[in-house]
Amino acid sequence: MLIQNGMVHKDDVVDIVHRVTLMNVSSAKQNALPRTKISCVGWDPEGILGPPRGGHIARLEIKRRLERDADAREEIQRRAREERLRRRERREARVVPETEEGLVEYLLDTEAREIEIEIARLRLRLNKEFFDHLQHEVGQLRFALNRTKEMDERLIELEAMQKVLLEGTEAYDKMQEDLVSAKERLMKILQSKDRKATLLEMVERNELNRSVLALLDENIANALNNDQKEAAAFMENMRSTIVKYITV
């Protein structure tokens, strides 16, 4: 820019005005442009992907924990199956004595968790003769004149076993009676031409109970195991109907 005689040249003024105008326009354009915002790890200037969501680490941890829990459950189930198999093999390997004295010792050596199975397996042997023999030995120990510590311990064992066997055989017999009744009632329903009327009649007589339902569930499971899908579906529909009328 030239200044002659204290005067600014006209061309210089025009040039200055032009430059200022360009600077203002450039500044206005910059202010008008939207500010770019990084809303995720990737480049997403227009915000298409939305704001970042937290918690992904926690979700991964939950997923890993569920997988570990599933593996743990599978391992527990596998061990339980193996334990049941070992118990069954040990049970089948045991020889049941033929005498009452031997049977008493056999049952005394039976684990508590196996006693119910043995009651069902030996129910015919657990008859009046057996309980008479057991009661006789209990009486001899109870009224012995010179009782030793070993005799006292055996008396406690025999009395405890006697109580368990009496209650167990009673419960088993009741279960068998319920099972027989349930079979008869289920056959009555299956053979009925008017099942709804039959069910209503059985409800009035209080003949529908959990035993009927349990037997039906067992038949459904057997049908599915034998790939009898139509029979299973039929019984499942019947089960749904029975549940509406079921009583405890």
Does the pLDDT value for residue 225 go beyond 80? yes
Average pLDDT over residues 184-202: 88
Distance CA 144, CA 141 (A): 5
The confidence band for 103, taking pLDDT boundaries of 50, 70 and 90, is very high
The confidence band for 140, taking pLDDT boundaries of 50, 70 and 90, is very high
Strand partners, 8: 3
pLDDT tens sequence across 122-133: 999 999 999 999
Average pLDDT over residues 59-88: 81
The confidence band for 3, taking pLDDT boundaries of 50, 70 and 90, is very low
Average pLDDT over residues 19-45: 53
The confidence band for 8, taking pLDDT boundaries of 50, 70 and 90, is very low
Does the pLDDT value for residue 29 go beyond 90? no
Highest mean pLDDT among 36-40, 75-79, 152-156: 152-156
Which tokens hold the place of 9?
A: 């040249």
pLDDT of residue 83: 83
Asked whether 248 and 210 are in contact (CB, 8 A), the reply is: yes
Q: For residue 235, count CB atoms less than 10 angstroms from its CB and return exposed for 0-12, middle for 13-18, buried for 19 or more.
A: buried
Q: For residue 134, count CB atoms less than 10 angstroms from its CB and return exposed for 0-12, middle for 13-18, buried for 19 or more.
A: buried
Strand partners, 7: 4
pLDDT of residue 166: 96
The 10 Å Cβ neighbour count of residue 166 is 13
pLDDT of residue 38: 47
- Let me know how long the chain is: 248
Does the pLDDT value for residue 5 go beyond 70? no
